[in-house]
Structure formats: C-alpha cells, structure tokens
Structure 1
Amino acid sequence: MTKQIAMKTPPVVSQQAWEAAREELLVKEKATLRAKDALAAERRRMPWMDVDKAYVFEGPNGRVSLLDLFEGRRQLIVYRAFFEPGVHGWPDHACRGCSLGADQVGHLAHLNARNTTLAYASRAPQADIVRLKKRMGWEMPWYTITDSFDKDFGVDEWHGHNVFIRDGDRVFRTYFINSRGDEAMGTVWSYLDATPLGRQEIWEDSPEGYPQTPLYSWWNWHDNYDAAPDKKWAEVSAAGEAAFRDKQD
C-alpha cells in the first residue's frame, strides 16, 4: 500500500480572522473580475476577418453551409470536437477532453435569447454523432466537417472555439479560443464574453450602437423565452440593477 504524504494545510483560525483573510483576497478577486471585463470590452473591438470561402457541413437533414449553422441568429460559436476514427474512444466515445467540455454546456435557450448559436463540429458521420449525442444526453447542434474548415480555422490537430458574426449573408470571424481557454467554456457568460456583441447589457463598455438591454431584465426560465414579459420580474430585475450599480460606484 502506497504511503500517503501528509498535507501541509493552512492554519486554523477564528471566524474573525477567517473573514479578514477572505476580505483581503476578495480585493484581488474583484480586481481580476474588472480586468476580465476590460478584456471582454477589448475583444468586442477586435477587427473582423471576412470568411469568403463556402464551407459545407453535413447536418441531420443534409448538407448545410456555415451561414446555415447560425440558425438565423446574429452570432455563432463553433467548437471543434474530436470524434472520428483514430480518436481514443472511437466509436463509442468522443475525445475525453471534448466530452468533458460537452458535459459542461448549459441550456442553450439562454444563449439563443442573446441572438447567439452554439454548434459542435467533428469529422464523424452524422449517424455516429446522433448515436453519441443520445448516449451522452447532449443537446447542442452537431455537424460533420466535410472540407478544410478545421484546418483553415486552427482546429485540425487540437480543439478550439471559433466565433463568428454575420451581416446579412456575409460571415466574419471575430475571435478564437483554444488550449486552457476552452476549460472555462460552458456557461452562457463564458460564451457571450467571447462574442463581438458581448452580454448585450447596458453596463458593458461596448462600441456605439451595439445592442444592449438592462441588466437582469432578459433573464428567464429556459422554457419561457417565448412568453410575454413578466411585470413582476421587471420590478425585481430593476431593483437588482439598481443594487448592482450601487456596488459599481
């Protein structure tokens, strides 16, 4: 039996001392949060890259274009997941890391409510993708790559999230997240912070003319976004926004 090395644990202190230590660390945590907000604001001002190649994917209902992956929304995030012959786990599973990431994806209704679509893409045939999604309980749209999309966008040998926006039928690449950056993805906030329009809330530092709504007001139950606005929630969200602004000052 392997001998376990004793852990060198922190000191045990009183509640007062613990609260003081927490407050000291909280100052640094808030500074980090503000820095992340500033980075997201800078990301929203990144230049766009025109995507002029006609990429083709296979979906559950046949061949589709990159524009089709938007599902009519303004923004698109495409994650390249490794599920194909030669990947460890094939054909029963996708890559363990990609699968761990897929397990973290929140309910897509909240992302869609911000005019944003998340899609996964792999080189596995659709029949295998459908089977895998059913086995693992995953709901995100998942397409088959048929051309050089993965190579052109830096995800032919490693995973990554590519972010796009469309203006009518024109598609632009706006950002790319890979490596350890992928570890934080999965919440509606992590996805929206990676997009050119951001969370689309009025507290954000965004370029002039970007869509923005009051904080909290758009939040909803994931099965209730098609319903009429709730007057009670409007009151609660307005109070919450006022409290948020007080803390910011």
Structure 2
Amino acid sequence: MNHPPIVPTEDWQEAVNTLRVHEKALTRQLDAVAAARRRLPMTPVEQDYVFEGPSGPASLTDLFQGRRQLIVYTFMWHGVDAVCSGCSMFTDNVGHPAHLNARDVTLALTSHGPLDDLLALRRRMGWALPWYSSLNNSFNADMGTVDGFALNVFLRADDRIFRTYTTTARGVERLGSNWSFLDLAPYGRQETWEDSPEGWPQTRPYQWWRLHDEYDTTKDPS
C-alpha cells in the first residue's frame, strides 16, 4: 500500500501551513453559506400529519417537543432485512441532543416503516434520537422523498409550522456535529459573531456551553 511522501518536519509544517490557508477560506465560505441560509424565506406546512410514536399518535407539532425549531431526518426504510447502512452511519454520527435542545432545536427521525421495527433497530443500535413512523401519512413524499432519505428543517411561529430548509444526497454527508446541525437551523448557533438578520436570538459564544448533563432541563422550552 502506498503512503504520503516522507519529508523533514520543516517541510511538513510548510505544507500544512499552505493547506491551512485553503481550510480557513473554506471555513469562512461555510459561514457565509450558513448566513445566507438563515435569510431564506420559509413556506407554511398546511398538512396536519399524524405519526405513530412510542407514546401513540403524534402530530408534527408534537415532534418539536415544545421547542421552536425541528430538524427531521427521514431514515430510508426497506425493511428489517435491508436496513440502510448510509442512514445508519448518519445516525451513528449524531452528537448528544442536549446541546441542540439548549438552542431550542429538536432532532428526530421518521421512516415509512412499522414503528415496532424502527424501535427494535433503535434499541439494537443504542440510538437516543426519537423515531416516528410515517407509514400512514404522506410526510415522506411531501418532504421530497418517498423511499429515499432527506433532511428537513422546520420552525414554529405564530402557532403555525413552516418549512425553512431541505437537503438530501451528499448534503447530509458532512452532518453529525451539533455545530453542523445548528448551521442548518433558522436561528443558527445564536452566537454574537454570526451574521444573522436583525432580531435573531444571540448570546456571547462559549457562555451557553455546558456538559450535556448540566443544562437546565426544567425550563419550559416553549
């Protein structure tokens, strides 16, 4: 098997410094794309979807769990004998949800499959994300996928639900960290360095960060 060329440390550091210029440029470009995403318009969700969840029927509003922002990953489902390895890798990469929750964001899975099968896989994989069956509604098709996968973002405002963003294919490939999900949310990371529209909630960076068991979960997110 081949490997990178071997050079003295000084030459290696010079090469790293040259690459770092491109990495920093990409970081700034991603920040600019996230700022543009926060300025997207949104469209109302008129359908009154009913999902099946562990506690019984659940509306799209219920999926928010009292928060204002909701990210839904539609996990491709072709049965227990053909579990999607790509969707499983995506779900394996998801960080602890407490950090998203602290920024008024809920992340949930939906699939066009029987709830018992979904929850059995959830237990097997040790996943903590809430998972709902969309087997008896048109959510998947309405949100850009029938038998495939997609990610959609929603906002609750004025007692209505709006769709703010959607992506699929390689658009979900780089996701997994809490930062990457917050960059998709309509309010972003909500930190003062961000380029956001006037009136967006923002606090100083680092100040809201906690160990995931130290957030105040008694506070009503609504």
Pair 1:197 & 2:191 matched? no
Structure number with bigger Rg: 1
2:25 aligns with one of 24, 31, 38: 31
Note closer, same or farther for the CA distance 1:227–1:177 as it changes in structure 2 (3 Å cut): closer
| Higher RCO (CA < 8 A, seq sep 6+) | 2
The residue type paired with residue 73 of structure 1 is: R
> Where does residue 144 of structure 1 map in the other structure?
133
- In the alignment, the residues of structure 1 paired with residue 15 and residue 76 of structure 2 have an alpha-carbon distance, to the nearest angstrom, of 43
- The answer for unaligned runs of 5 or more in structure 1 is 1-5, 229-249
TM-fit CA distance, 1:92: 5.3
> Where does residue 171 of structure 2 map in the other structure?
181
> Where does residue 114 of structure 1 map in the other structure?
103
SS in structure 2 opposite 1:13?
Answer: coil
Identity %: 52
- In the alignment, the residues of structure 1 paired with residue 116 and residue 159 of structure 2 have an alpha-carbon distance, to the nearest angstrom, of 29
TM-fit CA distance, 1:30: 0.2
Confirm or deny: 8 A CA contact 1:81 1:94 kept in the other structure.
no
- In the alignment, the residues of structure 2 paired with residue 65 and residue 10 of structure 1 have an alpha-carbon distance, to the nearest angstrom, of 53
Q: Which has the higher helix share?
A: 1
TM-fit CA distance, 1:176: 0.6
TM-fit CA distance, 1:183: 1.2
The residue type paired with residue 210 of structure 2 is: N
Pair 1:130 & 2:119 matched? yes
- In the alignment, the residues of structure 2 paired with residue 66 and residue 218 of structure 1 have an alpha-carbon distance, to the nearest angstrom, of 28
- In the alignment, the residues of structure 1 paired with residue 117 and residue 71 of structure 2 have an alpha-carbon distance, to the nearest angstrom, of 22
SS in structure 2 opposite 1:184?
Answer: coil
TM-fit CA distance, 1:199: 0.4
> Where does residue 20 of structure 1 map in the other structure?
14
- In the alignment, the residues of structure 1 paired with residue 114 and residue 12 of structure 2 have an alpha-carbon distance, to the nearest angstrom, of 55
Calculate the aligned-residue CA RMSD, in Å. 1.5
Cα deviation, 1:81-103, whole Å, max 9, x if unaligned, reads: 023xxx2xx32563111111111
Note closer, same or farther for the CA distance 1:70–1:16 as it changes in structure 2 (3 Å cut): same
TM-fit CA distance, 1:141: 0.5
- In the alignment, the residues of structure 1 paired with residue 61 and residue 30 of structure 2 have an alpha-carbon distance, to the nearest angstrom, of 30
- In the alignment, the residues of structure 2 paired with residue 64 and residue 227 of structure 1 have an alpha-carbon distance, to the nearest angstrom, of 22
Pairing of 1:218-229 with structure 2 (within 5 A): 218-226=208-216
- In the alignment, the residues of structure 2 paired with residue 206 and residue 18 of structure 1 have an alpha-carbon distance, to the nearest angstrom, of 38
- In the alignment, the residues of structure 1 paired with residue 104 and residue 148 of structure 2 have an alpha-carbon distance, to the nearest angstrom, of 28
Confirm or deny: 8 A CA contact 1:123 1:144 kept in the other structure.
yes
TM-fit CA distance, 1:192: 0.5
Structure 1 stretches (4+) deviating beyond 4 angstroms?
none
> Where does residue 105 of structure 1 map in the other structure?
94
1:80 aligns with one of 74, 77, 84: 74
Confirm or deny: 8 A CA contact 1:92 1:132 kept in the other structure.
no
- In the alignment, the residues of structure 2 paired with residue 36 and residue 157 of structure 1 have an alpha-carbon distance, to the nearest angstrom, of 30
Q: TM-score, normalised by structure 2?
A: 0.93
The residue type paired with residue 33 of structure 1 is: T
Cα deviation, 1:153-186, whole Å, max 9, x if unaligned, reads: 1021321110000114200000012101111111
> Where does residue 164 of structure 1 map in the other structure?
154
TM-fit CA distance, 1:205: 0.2
Note closer, same or farther for the CA distance 1:128–1:11 as it changes in structure 2 (3 Å cut): closer
TM-fit CA distance, 1:61: 1.1
1:64 aligns with one of 58, 62, 70: 58
